[in-house]
Amino acid sequence: MYQSTLAQLSTALESGQISSAELTRLYLARCHKFNNSLNCFITLNEELALQQAKYADKQRMAGNATPLTGIPVAQKDIFCTNGIKTSCGSKMLDNFIAPYDATIIERMNAAGLIILGKTNMDEFAMGSSNETSFYGPVKNPWDKNHVPGGSSGGSASAVAARLCPAATGTDTGGSIRQPASFCGVTGLKPTYGRVSRYGMIAFASSLDQAGPMTQTAEDAALMMNVIAGFDQRDSTSAAHPVDDYTAGLNDSVAGLRIGLPTQYFGEGLDSDIAKLIEDGIKELEKLGATCREIELPNTALSIPAYYVVAPAECSSNLSRFDGVRFGYRCEDPKDMSDLYLRSRGEGFGKEVKRRIMIGTYVLSAGYYEAYYLKAQRVRHLISDEFQTAFNDIDVIASPTTTAAAFKLNEKINDPISMYFSDIYTVSANLAGLPAISIPAGFVKQLPVGMQLIGNYFTESRLLNIAHQYQKMTDWHQQVPREFQ
């Protein structure tokens, strides 16, 4: 049963084959068995999950079930959860229990989903390997000497090892898609503003976006039906009409025009990955899609622009952690400034401090125009060239990453090389576009993903293409041997 997708679990619950309480106990048992070795959960929500499950069973009996009522899922520890610790992977929030639920949590609770636990992540979502977490690194279930990717590595690892059927993630520069690719799961970053950021601890507010991490595109659609939509508590939430994300899954992809950016297939790409992505695209061609090469000439500027914009916004967002209002406070402060300096000095890890320093620098008088303003201009160029591309194509296909998961400790002391692991993903964040990563094969027994980027609010189409691809392939059904 633990190998099942959300869609299958929904049917099993509906037919009475299993109860939510039984299902929740089953996943909790798997978490107990495997979490020590994978470290994907920071908090297991045992007691409350079982209570929620009993309530879900009652709701189902009373005929009040939604398609996902009674299914336990994992939540990235960046979402505030009323009464359950929300650490954001940081010592700064190790003692923080939010007094309210993030909108995404509220919506999932209302749909009857169970919170199995909170997943490990890079500290404040800053990282690509999960190694910056205060709670230690997460392991990749395909090979525990390798990283699961980041920052949503706990969620990716947990879904890949089937410790939960699905999870949430957040993606500021690639943090849903890159770990999805490294762990062999499906990860969707929606259009900026499609899913509410209320109650999601802010890293870089103009880039952050929450989304589903699942086994299949169909499951991602089921989750999007719960979490997408306008929220008046998030000022950047989009009022755009919300699709029924499962309705179009079986639409034909005949006539689909796919663009292949030459910049995403050039130097730096592992040749085995290039081959797998070409094979993946051929599958779509068999269904009647056509391909052409396109140019996104400013791709090389995406990482430098991102590493100005994201630290700038993080330096501002993280100023609220001052040892006064919530979170970590140093012992015996001498005076006010000692309180600020030591609380922040002791509460934040190295990568977070590096970003705060870069961000403060690029925003300071005299440098603002040279760095921040320039990065914003580059960001516009990047958005514009996507719009030009979408005049002639419907979707962009590419690898999600240049290589499969790297080894633990391989890049942690080389931030620049770590930053470049997001080269194919950050542009979608800078432009605010939706993008999905789907399992597309294996390189030396490690999974790799294919990325599809669409124009604004085309999540349904991306999910439809991914679903059609998953009907023709079985990469997404593979489970690492130890966890089968």
Q: Which residue reads 């959960």 in tokens?
A: 41
In the region spanning residues 148 to 187, those forming contacts with ligand GLN, defined by CB under 6 A, are: 151, 171-175
Q: Select 124 or 457, whichever has its Cβ closest to ligand GLN.
A: 124
Strands 446-454 and 435-443: antiparallel
Q: Select 234 or 422, whichever has its Cβ closest to ligand GLN.
A: 422
The Cα–Cα gap between 45 and 161 comes to 18
Q: Select 74 or 303, whichever has its Cβ closest to ligand GLN.
A: 303
- Contacts of residue 414, Cβ cutoff 8 Å, sequence gap at least 6: none
Q: Select 326 or 420, whichever has its Cβ closest to ligand GLN.
A: 420
Of these residues, 20, 151, 155, 315, which one is catalytic?
151
Q: Select 202 or 277, whichever has its Cβ closest to ligand GLN.
A: 202
Active site residue 302: no
Concatenated DSSP letters of 382-417: HHHHHHHHTTT-SEEEEESSSSS--BTTSSTT-HHH
Select the residue interacting with ligand GLN from 74, 111, 126, 362 (CB under 6 A): 126
Q: Which residue reads 């100023």 in tokens?
A: 319
Tell me how far CA of residue 185 lies from CA of 213, 299, 308, 400, 418, in angstroms: 7, 25, 30, 12, 21
- Sole window of 121-129, 213-221, 319-327, 436-444 interacting with ligand GLN (rule: CB under 6 A): 121-129
- Sole window of 2-10, 119-127, 328-336, 385-393 interacting with ligand GLN (rule: CB under 6 A): 119-127
Of these residues, 129, 175, 181, 302, which one is catalytic?
175
In the region spanning residues 211 to 240, those forming contacts with ligand GLN, defined by CB under 6 A, are: none
Of these residues, 19, 76, 129, 155, which one is catalytic?
76
In 3D space, the residue among 98, 65, 63, 51 whose CA is nearest the CA of residue 79 turns out to be 98
Our separate counts of H helices and E strands in the chain read: 15, 11
Using CB under 6 A as the binding rule, whether residue 422 contacts ligand GLN is answered as: yes
3-state secondary structure of 188: strand
Q: How far is CA 173 from the centre of its chain?
A: 10
In the region spanning residues 192 to 211, those forming contacts with ligand GLN, defined by CB under 6 A, are: 203
Q: Select 103 or 128, whichever has its Cβ closest to ligand GLN.
A: 128
Select the residue interacting with ligand GLN from 310, 362, 395, 412 (CB under 6 A): 310
Least CB distance from residue 180 to ligand GLN, whole Å?
12
- Contacts of residue 235, Cβ cutoff 8 Å, sequence gap at least 6: none
Using CB under 6 A as the binding rule, whether residue 128 contacts ligand GLN is answered as: yes
Active site residue 76: yes
What does the binding site for ligand GLN look like in residue numbers (CB under 6 A)?
125-128, 151, 171-175, 203, 310, 422
Residue numbers annotated as active site: 76, 151, 175
